[in-house]
Amino acid sequence: MTTLTFSNILDCAKYITKYLGAVKMSDKKTVPAAVAMLKVLEAWGVKDVYGYPGGSVNSTMNALDLEKERINYIQVRHEQVGAIAAAAHAKLTGQIGVTFGSAGPGAVNLLNGLYDAREDHAPVLALVGQVPHTNMNYNYFQEFPEVPMFQDVAVYDRIVMTPESLPHVVDKAIREAYKHRGVAVVVIPNDFGYVEIPDVDYASNTVLDKPQPQPQATNEEVEKFLEMVKAAKRPVFHVGSGIKGNADKLIALSRKLQIPVTITGLAKGSVSDDYEANLGTINRAASKSADEIFATADLVIALGADFPFANLVYRTHDFKFIQIDNDRSQFGRHHYLDLGIWSDSGSFLDKALELSQPAEESSFFKAAIAANKDWQAYLQGLMAKTEGQLEYEPVYREINRIAEKDAIFSIDVGDNIINSFRFLNLTKENKWTISALFATMGYGIPGAIAAKRAYPNRQVFNIAGDGAFSMVMQDLLTEVKYQLPIINVVTSNKSLNFIKSEQDDVEMNLSGIFLQEADFAKVAEGLGVEGIRVDKLEDLPQAFDRALEVTKQGRPVLIDVHISDKRGLPVEELELEIVDGKFVEKISAGYQKTHGQQSVREFLDSYEGYNLKTLPEYFEEFGVRA
C-alpha cells in the first residue's frame, strides 16, 4: 500500500495543471508565424508584396499562398526591381512599400532599391530571408550576418529571435519606417515562419491615426523675413517638395512680393508650369531662365528644399540665405543661415501673406518673367519639329499629346530626367516618380509597375533611355504576367548620354559610354509585349496612337524610338558676374577649354537658341541694376 504524502499530492496537482493547460492550449487557434506576420501587413493596409522566391524564404512563400485571397504576391524577376517597386509605391502613395529577398545574394540585391528609399525618405519594409536558426553560425550555405549589411540603409534593423516574436517585430518595423520615413529591415530565420503560434491580433495600427502637429511660423520670424526681402534687390525663392499642397499660397506671395520662383526637381508639377514666374529647376537638369536668375540673386529663400547640388550651385556667388523647413535637422545643411524659420510651408505662407504689404513693381521680377517666356517658346519650338533627324524633343510632344490629365510617369535616370523637367507637362493632377537623390538607373520599369498596381485605373508611362532600360528589361515579363497596360517609351541613342556630356566637358577621350545597339521592340515581342520601333520623325504620331490602342485593350506596349545623341542646351555652363556695376554673362572656362572659345551668342546658337537673349539683355531692357 502506497503512503499518500504531501509531496505526492503536489506532484499530482502539477500534472493535472499541466494536462489541463495543454488541453486549453490545444483548443486555442494557431497559425504559422509567417501567416501571423502577413496579417500584420494586411492590418496596415498592405495589398502588394514584391519579391523573388528562394530557399530561405519558403516559409514566407507558404504564407503568401495561404493568404493569397487577402494579400498579393507580385513576382518580379530581380530583387532590385522588387525593392525599387516598393520604394516607388511608397513615394507615390505615402503608404509603406513591402519587398523581400532570400538570404545572401537576394538580400544584397535588395540594397539598390532600399538606398533609393532611404535617400528619398520613403517608408519601406524589407523582409530578408535567413537560414534555419539551427544552421546559423555553422557556415551554412548562404548564411551571412545580414543585420550588419543593412545598418547604414535602415532606420530599424532586426533579426527575429523566436517564432512568437515575428509578427511583433514586423509591426514595430512598420511603425518605425513610418516614423522616420525610411527603411525597416527584418531578418527572418526560415524555420520560424512555419511554427504555429497563437492567432491573435498582433498589429498596433488600431491606434487612431491623425495628422502630426506641424511647427508654426511666428510673427517675429515672418517680420524678419519681410525685412530681409525689402532690403534685397534680387530675391529668389528656391522651392522643394516641402511645398506640398501650398503652391497657390506660394504663387500669391510671389506675386505680392515680386519674387520669382525656382524649384528643385521634386517640386516639378507641384508649382504650376503655367505660373509665369515659375522659372523651373536649377543646375544641370534645369531651365536657362532659372539658372541665370538664381546666379544673380542676393537673397535666396529656400522653402522645403532638400537640394543635393547645393554645395555646387549655392557656392557660385555670395547671397543672404533664408531657410524655411519643418525639420530642424535640415537647417544649415546646404548653406550657412542668415535666418532659419522652423515651420510648415503652409503656416509660413499664410503668415507671410497676412503680414506683408504689396511690393512695388519690380524690374527684376519682370525681367525674370520675360526671360522665362522666351525659354518656354524655345522649348515649344524644339518639340514642334516635323522634319529632319529624329531627336528627343518630339518624343515628349507625343507623350504630352496622348497623356491623360491624371497620367502617372515613372522616369528613369539619365538624359530623360533633364528632358522631362524641360518638356513633360506635369501638373498637380499628375503623379510622377524618379530616383531623385540616389539616382539609380533601372528605375523606370519598377516605378511604372508600382504605379499601375497602386492606381489601376490611371494611365502609366515608363520613360527610359536604352542604358537604363536594359538593366531591368526582363521585368517587362512582370507587366505581362500581371496584365499591366503600361506605355514603355525607350529613347535609344546608343550612348550613356548623360555621362557623355560630362566627359565632353573635361579633357579626356570619350570612354566607355557608347552602347551596342539593340532592337528593343523585338526584345519586347519576345517577352510578350507589343513592340513598336520608330526610326523616322514622321512615324512618331502613328506609333503613339498605336500604343494608346494597345493599352486600352489592357496590354503593355513598348515604343523603341531611335534618336540621335544630340545634347540639350547645357545651361549650367552660363556664368554671370558684375563688372563696373553691370552684369556680364559668359561661358564657363571649362566648357570653352574643351569646346573652343565662343561668345554667349555663339553658344546659344549652337543649340538652336537663335531667338534666346542673354540675361544682361533682359536686365538692360527692364532697367535692372547690379
Q: Which of 423, 382, 167 is nearest to 280 (CA)?
A: 423
Question: Would you call 185 helix, strand, or coil by DSSP?
Answer: strand
Q: Which three cell numbers stand for residue 514?
A: 557608347
Contact 416, 393 (CB under 8 A): no
* CA 393 to mean position of chain CA atoms: 23
Confirm whether 553 is a catalytic residue. no
Q: Of 77, 158, 284, 422, which one is the catalytic site residue?
A: 284
Q: How far apart are CA 498 and CA 51, in angstroms?
A: 31
Q: Of 141, 196, 200, 404, which one is the catalytic site residue?
A: 141
DSSP letter string over 244-283?
A: TT-HHHHHHHHHHHT--EEE-GGGBTTB-TTSTTEEEE-S
Contact 86, 50 (CB under 8 A): yes
**Which positions ≥6 away from 26 have C-beta within 8 Å?**
none
Q: How far apart are CA 310 and CA 314, in angstroms?
A: 5
Confirm whether 520 is a catalytic residue. no
Q: Of 131, 153, 408, 413, which one is the catalytic site residue?
A: 413
Q: Return the amino acid letter for 344.
A: D
Q: Of 237, 294, 319, 498, which one is the catalytic site residue?
A: 498
Confirm whether 84 is a catalytic residue. no
Q: Of 67, 79, 391, 479, which one is the catalytic site residue?
A: 79
Distance from first CA to last CA of the chain, Å, rounded? 115
Q: How far apart are CA 130 and CA 125, in angstroms?
A: 16
Q: Which residues of 541-579 are buried (b: 16+ CB within 10 A; e: fewer)?
A: bebbeebbebbeeebbbbbbbbbebeebbbbbbbbbeee
Q: Which three cell numbers stand for residue 478?
A: 512582370
Q: Return the amino acid letter for 304.
A: G
Confirm whether 620 is a catalytic residue. no
Confirm whether 413 is a catalytic residue. yes
Confirm whether 319 is a catalytic residue. no
Q: Of 71, 402, 499, 584, which one is the catalytic site residue?
A: 499
CA distances from 19 to 195, 197, 432 (A): 22, 19, 61
Q: How far apart are CA 148 and CA 105, in angstroms?
A: 15
Residue reference for cell 522616420: 180
Q: Of 227, 404, 502, 517, which one is the catalytic site residue?
A: 502
Q: Which of 622, 596, 600, 618 is nearest to 610 (CA)?
A: 600
**Which positions ≥6 away from 150 have C-beta within 8 Å?**
107, 111, 114, 126, 128, 157, 183, 185
Q: Of 71, 75, 95, 142, which one is the catalytic site residue?
A: 142
- What element of type H or E holds 536? none
Supply the residues annotated as catalytic. Answer: 79, 141-142, 284, 413, 498-499, 502
